[in-house]
Amino acid sequence: MSTSTFIERAKFSCALGGALTTLAGLPRTVPIVHAAGGCAASLSGAYNTAAGYRGVGYCGGNMIPTSNIAENNIVFGGEDRLAEQIENTLLAMDGDLYVVVTGCQVEIIGDDAVGIARRFSDRNVIGVSSPGFLGNTLAGYDAVMSSIVDNVVAPSPVKDTRTVNIFGVVPGHDVFYRGNLDELARLLGRVGVKANTFFGTGESIEKIRGCGAASLSIVLSPKTGVKPAGRLREKTGAPYILSEIPIGPSGSADFLRQIGGALGVDPRLVEDVIADETEYYYSYLERIVDIYSDIDFQRYAIVAADSYYAHAYTRFLANDLGWIPHLTAINDIDDPEEQAEYLKRFGDITSETRPAVVFERNAGQLLRHVRDSRARNRNEKYYDALSPAYVVGTGIERSLADKLGAGFLAAAFPVSNRVVLHRGYAGWRGALSFVEDLITNLVAAR
Amino acid sequence: MSKYSDELTYGFTGQVAPPVRETRIGVCSAYCGACDELIADVQSGCAQLQGRRFAQSGGCQLMLAVGIVSSLTNVVVIVHSPLGCCSGFVGSGGLRKTMRASKGKREEEFVWLHTNLDEMDVVRGGLDKLREAVLYAEREYHPDAIIIANGCVPGIIGDDIDSLVTELGGRISAKLVPIHCEGFKSRYVASGYDSAYHGVLRHLVEPLVKYERAIPDEKQETLDRYRISRTVNIFNVGSNSNGDEVELSRIVSALGLIPRVLPLHASLDDLARIGEAALNVSVCATHDDYLLGHLKERFGTPYIIDTLPIGIRSTNLWLLRIAEFFGLEAEAERVIKLENDQLNAALEPFRRELRGKSVYVGGGETRILTTASFFAEDLGMDVVGVKAHNVDRFVEEIMEELEDPRLEITVAAGQPAEELNVLARLRPDLYCGHVGANGWVSRLGIPNLPLFGQALNYMGYTGAYELARKASKALKNTNFVKNISRGVKLPLSAEWLARDTKLNIKETEAV
């Protein structure tokens, strides 16, 4: 039974949006959308402008082939139109993989789009049911990646004990997905582990077919990625482990130890890499020590993000940067049991002050949570204000930061006030970029 | 006044939803040929029956409708749908502040809600969630109006949002405005404008109630009557900038008239006074014939739906039509002469740079034709083709006045594969196109500039100058597109790019 309600200023699109942003991250992949004419371009457009101007990708935006069904198809069905559209897409578009995805309209009327796609399976066409009402962005990622596992990844009889697949990083929804994946692949490479990232630099559909040789899947999100990783386990026997996007020295060291341990990597190698990366990190961080200390850049941190980033950012700010974790708001966990499970992650916060953690789906309520987090100022002469504060959130929290007079960095979807190219916040190097961005905003007026 | 709009009737406000444009005015959405053939085929009805074999994603009427009503002052928008419809707000919602600031209006945070319909709601209906959302919006934000945009899912499963509006109407202070803009209902996405204005007309345009004064103030009443008799409502559109509004207001003021720009970004008070004008003037028939037609039937306000004031000739014509209504032709001739002399002198350096350069224009029907005419007539450029999203009978006159009646035209909303196929053959020196097209044209290696911009001036005399300046600027360094075309690949097959565009058009119900 559904317990969902309305959402104020949701930081997600629908399952079809998630499917399309996932497909836009896959190399040379052509989506074919069986839906009304506007769905594809407008959903793709959301990720063009709200994922740090990630663009529409290889075959996105209004380039997306669409069956463009209308009212008569709602009555008579749209399967013939879809078949014609697939046939002509294969003629017009150059791709290594063609993926039929569906919108609400055709699923309600019962078109068998996946079945139609199957007729073209000898020409690299697969079908995925992804109507918007299936859920949010993450449901679309799971649907597409599960289908990739089922229909594209080849079962491999031989396991490569030093190869892993990374799930749970949703292109576009993780605004920094490519920079992050490249950095994770680099770090894993340093301990002798090859990472299949699906969306990172150098990937191809051919390589994705070979993902079945991996001996382990890493799932980096508590809300997405388990489904395709589970399907892969059924298919090839490769187990999956739950982890977290590592940001900065403490998170990244844990990450390498966890993965190294799971794969039986020599711990000395892991520790050597950790020491080396940590040294590199501090050799650069040293640059801001003077200004940070001289004019006090320690801040009360308010983190507002989805469960993929919320703890990871909080942990970095508290454990590595030494900011005061005041309030962390997570926007995508509604289930009380899942909330309790996620809360446990905050057990590793080492600052003297522990953050208040709230689960809040409505963006407008964040201000109330911040106000409730302290005694109100009743015009006292002496008042312990929440200042200086800094909001690390999504673009939507900009107005919250304005109201609080706080510093602000958009670091989770949506991000539309800056351009993100190869930047990532993962690992030690990503954390350096993160600190650059945080502190730049504090000195920008100089 | 456009002969065509006079043939239409607008008595639809008794209905819950407006008719879609396919039935109300008829539309061609797929065509490939010459302008004179197209006019003939539109008049005979053949052009409206063309579809395509390979289709790409275009607009959605919900987006256009919400674009209009979400601009109103102090409103909350509820998108009654799963999370995807209007999810682009996450990227564009922040623009509300800068847009309002550019028009000198009070800063406002944009608030929208989704009813977040899921599989269970598809089965049992989504009205309970919508009710909660409405009450939340009222309680948390106290808006003047709560707009409910109805998406495909409730449209197909049959949620009766109007009954909910009736139920809640007496309980909350905000006005509730249901907008029936389900995407699947119309492939002519401009239907969304009608959907939006239908809701506005039914629920927001409530003239102020006036009472008889105990002590009559004849002087004030005379002044009011005079003000109304000189007031010209200029109907803005989502694609125009504040610079456009300032310029059009300037030239209307030059005739001694009182310009007032509506309805985008208007407050409910502004809308209540929408009938207090002598004349309603459109800048684009595609946007507002439905609104202006209704206002005439309701308040008796005459309207002008003619050309889009882009380029010298169209701006002259636009201004002259207004002047004629007020008997100010002589005044207008003087304004036009002064403006044209100044502008022509200012354009001279750009003419020298741009004369003979080939240009292709793609986008909304009225805007591309007026823009192309400006490039050809006033800058001496060689217009090698145009692409219209859709074509209806509103542009008959503009097309008949084209310098070259054999001008190549394709009709396609979006459809970059078709457009790039054309451009790969024509290889113009410059392309001017709608949002969403220019990126593909860059990948093809053709220098380009946007057809409109919410921060740029295109309309009126100053807009003509700015457009010439932009065209000239685009050709001052073309390395970006050259490099991009070498470094970034298009997804189109070589076979597709080499084939005849016409092969994609088929006789059918429109697709």
pLDDT score recorded for residue B221: 93
Residue B301 belongs to a domain: yes
Boundary residue ending a domain (B280, B300, B329): B329
Same domain, B308 and B373: no
Nearest-CB residue to B115 (from A6, A50, A105): A6
Nearest-CB residue to B112 (from A9, A14, A136): A9
Exposure string (b/e) for A421-437, b if CB count within 10 Å is 16 or more? eebbbbbbbbbbbbbeb
How many domains are contained in chain B?
3
pLDDT score recorded for residue A75: 87
Residue B202 belongs to a domain: no
Boundary residue ending a domain (B329, B356, B380): B329
pLDDT score recorded for residue B402: 87
Boundary residue ending a domain (B266, B300, B329): B329
SS (H, E, C) B235-252: ECCCCCCHHHHHHHHHHH
* B434 to chain A: closest CA residue: A62
Q: Which of A297, A299, A412, A407 is CA-nearest to residue A353?
A: A299
Residue B10 belongs to a domain: no
Same domain, B374 and B437: yes
Domain spans, chain A: 15-151, 160-263, 297-415
Cα distances (Å, whole numbers) of residue B270 to A130, B14, B208, B266: 43, 23, 10, 6
- Provide the residue range defining the domain that includes B308: 218-329
Same domain, B320 and B371: no
Residues in chain B: 511
Question: What are the residues facing B430 on neighbouring strands?
Answer: B359
Q: Does the pLDDT of residue A2 top 80, yes or no?
A: no
In this prediction, residue B455 has a pLDDT band, given cuts at 50, 70 and 90, of confident
Show residues of chain A in contact with B19, CB under 8 Å: none
Show residues of chain B in contact with A10, CB under 8 Å: 83, 87, 90, 114, 116
A368 touches chain B (CB under 8 A): no
Same domain, B377 and B276: no
Same domain, B228 and B357: no
Q: Which of residues 104-123 of A touch B (CB under 8 A)?
A: 104-105, 108-109
Residue B41 belongs to a domain: no
In this prediction, residue A270 has a pLDDT band, given cuts at 50, 70 and 90, of very high
Other C-beta atoms lying within 10 Å of the C-beta of residue A39: 33
Show residues of chain B in contact with A40, CB under 8 Å: 57
d(Cα A332, Cα A13) in Å, to the nearest integer? 12
HSE-up of A87 (CA within 13 Å, CB side)?
Answer: 11
The CATH fold assigned to A160-263 is Rossmann fold (3.40.50)
Kindly report the CATH class assigned to A15-151. alpha beta
Nearest-CB residue to A40 (from B57, B62, B81): B57
Same domain, B365 and B455: yes
Question: What digits encode the pLDDT tens for the residues A124-164?
Answer: 999 999 999 999 999 999 999 999 999 999 998 889 999 99
HSE-up of B320 (CA within 13 Å, CB side)?
Answer: 13
Q: Does the pLDDT of residue B5 top 90, yes or no?
A: no
Task: Give just the sign of the alpha carbon dihedral A14, A15, A16, A19.
Answer: positive
Q: Does the pLDDT of residue A179 top 90, yes or no?
A: yes
Nearest-CB residue to A1 (from B117, B120, B414): B120
Same domain, B299 and B369: no
A33 touches chain B (CB under 8 A): yes
Q: Which whole number is the average pLDDT over B205-211? A: 88
Question: What digits encode the pLDDT tens for the residues B110-159?
Answer: 999 999 999 999 999 999 999 999 999 999 999 999 999 999 999 999 99
Cα distances (Å, whole numbers) of residue A241 to A168, A258, A269, A366, A369: 11, 9, 21, 32, 33
Question: What digits encode the pLDDT tens for the residues B171-199?
Answer: 999 999 999 999 999 999 999 999 999 99
Show residues of chain B in contact with A44, CB under 8 Å: 57
pLDDT score recorded for residue A41: 97
Same domain, B302 and B382: no
Place of tokens 């529409």: A56
Q: How far is B507 from chain A (nearest CA, A)?
A: 14
CATH of the domain at B180: 3.40.50.1980
Q: What angle do CA A118, A121, A122 make, to 5 degrees?
A: 150
A13 touches chain B (CB under 8 A): yes
Same domain, B282 and B241: yes
Q: Give yes or no for a contact between A327 and A303, defined as CB atoms under 8 angstroms apart.
A: yes
d(Cα B109, Cα B103) in Å, to the nearest integer? 15
pLDDT score recorded for residue A1: 40
Q: Does the pLDDT of residue A66 top 90, yes or no?
A: yes
Q: Which of residues 380-419 of A touch B (CB under 8 A)?
A: 394-396, 398-399, 413-414, 416-417
Using a 10 angstrom Cβ sphere, with 0-12 exposed, 13-18 middle and 19 or more buried, the burial of residue B482 is middle
pLDDT score recorded for residue B510: 46
Residue B8 belongs to a domain: no
Contact between chains at A8 and B113 (C-beta distance less than 8 A): yes
Dihedral angle computed from the Cα positions of residues A394, A396, A402 and A407, in that order, rounded to the nearest 10 degrees: 10
Show residues of chain A in contact with B186, CB under 8 Å: 70
Residue B7 belongs to a domain: no
Same domain, B388 and B495: yes
Residue B22 belongs to a domain: no
Q: Which whole number is the average pLDDT over B334-352? A: 98
Q: How far is B79 from chain A (nearest CA, A)?
A: 10
Show residues of chain A in contact with B98, CB under 8 Å: none
Q: Mean pLDDT over all residues of chain A?
A: 97
d(Cα A291, Cα A308) in Å, to the nearest integer? 31
The answer to whether domain A15-151 and domain A160-263 are alike in fold is yes
Is 3.60.10.10 the CATH classification of the domain at A297-415? no
With a CB cutoff of 8 Å and minimum separation 6, the contacts of B414 are A41, A62, B56, B57, B58, B59, B389, B436, B437
A–B CB contacts, 8 A cutoff, strictly below: 255
A296 touches chain B (CB under 8 A): no
In this prediction, residue B1 has a pLDDT band, given cuts at 50, 70 and 90, of very low
